[in-house]
Amino acid sequence: MSRFTAHSLTIVTFLPLLGAVVIAFLGRERTSSIRWVALLFSLLTFLITVGLYFRFDSQRAGMQFPEMSPWMVIPPVNYHLGVDGLSMFLILLTGFLTPLSVLVSWKSITHRAKEFFIFLLALETGMIGVFASLDLVLFFLFWEVMLIPMYFLIGIWGHERRVYAAIKFVLFTMVGSALMLAGIIYLYNVTGSFDLPRVLDRLVTISALSPQAERWLFLAFFIAFAIKVPLFPFHTWLPDAHVEAPTAGSVLLAGVLLKMGTYGMLRFCLPLFPDASREFAPVICVLAIVGIIYGALVAMVQPDLKKLVAYSSVAHLGFCVLGMFVFRPEAMEGAIYQMFSHGVSTGALFMLVGMLYERRHTRLISEFGGLATTLPVYSAFFLIVTLASVGLPLLNGFVGEFLIIVGSYYRHAAYAAFAAAGVVLAAVYLLWAYQRVFYGEITNEKNRTLPDCDFREKLILAIMVIVIMAMGVYPQPFLRRMDRNVTSIMLRLEKHSLLMTDRAAPPLPRAGLFPYLPVDTEGSNPSPSPLPGERVADEGGQVRGYLAVATKTLPDSGSDPSPALVPRAPSPQGRGREIKNPDAPNPLLPTAHCLLHTAHCLLPTAHGLLPTASRGGVQ
């Protein structure tokens, strides 16, 4: 293994910071050189993330590209990096949006351009570090470091109320950070480690947390991440931060920073505290649905185009939280996909709003009208991105929302109904805003002489539209890399599931968009079977065991994975004890030979649910 391959995550994390250091040595008057250096280092970082994406093995379980070095002895803090299907997408998204943010700021940032691009590249290092960290202290360090450059980006290069918005953003995040830090310290006192994989293993094998302690720890972590999402009612900082931030700040805030909250819920809340996650799930699902409806209704009445897009983020990220806490594999995959999709489409919307602001220096919808006549290319790009945010089929917004609604319907029909209503409301406020801005007569003479997109803007928007269409037409390359993570989380979430210590796992069969294929190995008729970690009962209702993925290692051939039905063996505290796969054949092995595609039987119902709502909203 080459030195570059062995330290690829370190390189991709700190390469932007190296670019910031290079810019720091350039003279302030060399504005053109500063921009080109920022673009060069952000593009190099993106190319490395693309290389990581294609080298990522979707058939392997566990973390990939690991890096582990001791950092502190007492307490034991390690420089531990690694990525899986979840973090790989978000690192790729960060690398993708940063060079576009540099390009979108090429002409608009003329005041203190040197400091602006230094903070922009430092912010990229902080964001990538959050997604790559596997040590709790290292994660917290990057989480806090990321606040500093964003504070200055909003506070210096923002608009009229920039200082107020920057302070509000930091104060809200710091409150959540204090709770999370307290939870990290408590976990260390219980497990004796800050290393996330080790903490996960010890919490299961020794059942160290009482139910009350698990509830408090879950709330400490969850509130920190809910503020970052932001989930209703912790959302009040977001509109101010979005509206006052410069265009690049809004793009990275919506595209990446908000995803740190949903990422934290999947990485920490669900695996570390599965019982508390299930206990609080109904309340969280209700809050997510309230956020979907509330965000859409408030966006509908906004006179400011940028604030309308900001409230749309509250609604769209409510879908992500709902998909995670209905505990269905298809919904969880949809939530991860929606995180990536929202970063692209909403980032593009903020870029479009910023380009319009550069021409008119106003964002009030009432100041526009009839722009499709004077800005035909710009209006075409705006329409495509708007339809993607609405969730039009064949565009990226449809896939994630569809999967979330399918999984939500299986868990609770009311969840799916309200979520589908949110899709309709999104069509209302987005298409209504588009109609007022681009159609009708030109009532303001200033709009008659506006220039259309130049080459730089066409390049930025064309790249975004290509990605939007590619994700909508062929989502399989993204979904395939999520399977291992979703399966692992589902195994942990079953209250009495047995966590297997062996890391190898069999390849999951695929069928279309979904990770589980219905196969009946003993009869002629396919029938739904339990998911990994779910209880398996006989005809009389007696629980026989829990479906899990067990492996045994052979001396010559490495690991020979085989799914097995693990006998029920909960500990007195309610968690499963660690069980190795025995050498003797399991008589129940044929019963669970394949993982089943549970969403298959829901397709007729879901097909009639979501497309109908989408068609009704677009007309």
Residues 217 and 249 in one domain: yes
Residues 460 and 362 in one domain: yes
| Confidence class for position 577, pLDDT limits 50, 70, 90 | very low
Identify the pLDDT of residue 4. Answer: 59
pLDDT in tens, 92-148: 999 999 999 999 999 888 888 899 999 999 999 999 999 999 999 999 999 998 899
Residues 128 and 60 in one domain: yes
Residue 551: name the closest of 542, 537, 562, 541 by CA: 562
Residues 271 and 358 in one domain: yes
Q: How far apart are CA 356 and CA 564, in angstroms?
A: 58
Identify the pLDDT of residue 444. Answer: 85
Identify the pLDDT of residue 227. Answer: 92
Identify the pLDDT of residue 615. Answer: 36
Structure tokens at 590: 């044929």
Label residue 54 exposed, middle or buried (CB < 10 Å: 0-12, 13-18, 19+).
Answer: exposed
| Confidence class for position 355, pLDDT limits 50, 70, 90 | very high
Assess if residue 137 is contained within a domain. Answer: yes
Residues 88 and 172 in one domain: no
pLDDT in tens, 240-285: 898 889 999 999 999 899 999 999 999 999 988 888 888 899 999 9
Question: How many other CB atoms sit within 10 Å of the CB of residue 266?
Answer: 21
Residues 467 and 495 in one domain: no
Q: How far apart are CA 187 and CA 49, in angstroms?
A: 32
Identify the pLDDT of residue 576. Answer: 36
Residues 541 and 395 in one domain: no
Q: What are the distances in angstroms from CA 464 to CA 249, 344, 351, 388?
A: 17, 7, 10, 11
| Confidence class for position 533, pLDDT limits 50, 70, 90 | very low
Question: Which of 145, 172, 204 delimits the end of a domain?
Answer: 145
Residues 466 and 535 in one domain: no
Assess if residue 616 is contained within a domain. Answer: no
Residue with the larger pLDDT of the pair 24 and 580: 24
Residue 616 — φ and ψ, nearest 5°? -65, -35
* 78 three-state secondary structure: strand
Q: Is the separation of the CB atoms in 100 and 464 below 8 Å? A: yes
Residues 131 and 29 in one domain: yes
Residues 404 and 268 in one domain: yes
Identify the pLDDT of residue 109. Answer: 87
Structure tokens at 406: 């399918």
Residue with the larger pLDDT of the pair 605 and 405: 405
Assess if residue 150 is contained within a domain. Answer: no
Check whether 604 has a pLDDT greater than 60. no
Q: Which domain holds residue 586?
A: 490-508+518-596
End-to-end Cα spacing for the chain: 56
Assess if residue 156 is contained within a domain. Answer: no
Question: How many other CB atoms sit within 10 Å of the CB of residue 558?
Answer: 9
| Confidence class for position 514, pLDDT limits 50, 70, 90 | very low
Assess if residue 357 is contained within a domain. Answer: yes
Residues 190 and 279 in one domain: yes
Q: How many distinct structural domains can be found in the chain?
A: 3
Question: How many other CB atoms sit within 10 Å of the CB of residue 235?
Answer: 23
Identify the pLDDT of residue 448. Answer: 87
Identify the pLDDT of residue 33. Answer: 92
pLDDT in tens, 155-170: 999 888 889 999 999 9
| Confidence class for position 60, pLDDT limits 50, 70, 90 | confident
Q: Is the separation of the CB atoms in 486 and 329 below 8 Å? A: yes
Identify the pLDDT of residue 375. Answer: 92
pLDDT in tens, 363-372: 899 889 889 9
> What's the CA angle centered on 250, arms 172 and 25, to 5 degrees?
95
Q: How far apart are CA 260 and CA 144, in angstroms?
A: 12
Check whether 495 has a pLDDT greater than 80. no
Check whether 532 has a pLDDT greater than 50. no
Percent of the chain exceeding pLDDT 70 equals 78
Assess if residue 605 is contained within a domain. Answer: no
Query: 333-342, 549-558, 598-607 — which one is most confidently predicted on average?
Result: 333-342
Identify the pLDDT of residue 297. Answer: 93
Check whether 43 has a pLDDT greater than 70. yes
Residue with the larger pLDDT of the pair 483 and 386: 386
pLDDT in tens, 427-481: 999 999 999 999 988 888 888 889 989 999 999 999 999 999 999 999 988 888 8
Assess if residue 434 is contained within a domain. Answer: yes
Average pLDDT of the residues in 490-509: 47
Residues 449 and 498 in one domain: no
Identify the pLDDT of residue 426. Answer: 92
| Confidence class for position 596, pLDDT limits 50, 70, 90 | very low
Assess if residue 619 is contained within a domain. Answer: no
Check whether 556 has a pLDDT greater than 50. no
Check whether 58 has a pLDDT greater than 90. no
| Confidence class for position 590, pLDDT limits 50, 70, 90 | very low
* 561 three-state secondary structure: strand
Residue with the larger pLDDT of the pair 539 and 391: 391
For residue 74, the cross-strand partners are none
| Confidence class for position 208, pLDDT limits 50, 70, 90 | low
| Residue-averaged pLDDT of the chain | 79
Residue 193: name the closest of 141, 142, 136, 140 by CA: 136
Identify the pLDDT of residue 97. Answer: 95
pTM of the model: 0.77
**Unique residue bearing structure tokens 């979501």:** 610
Average pLDDT of the residues in 287-299: 93
Q: How far apart are CA 429 and CA 267, in angstroms?
A: 33
Q: How far apart are CA 172 and CA 170, in angstroms?
A: 6
Check whether 2 has a pLDDT greater than 80. no
Identity of the amino acid at 465: V
Residue with the larger pLDDT of the pair 414 and 577: 414
pLDDT in tens, 339-353: 999 999 999 999 999
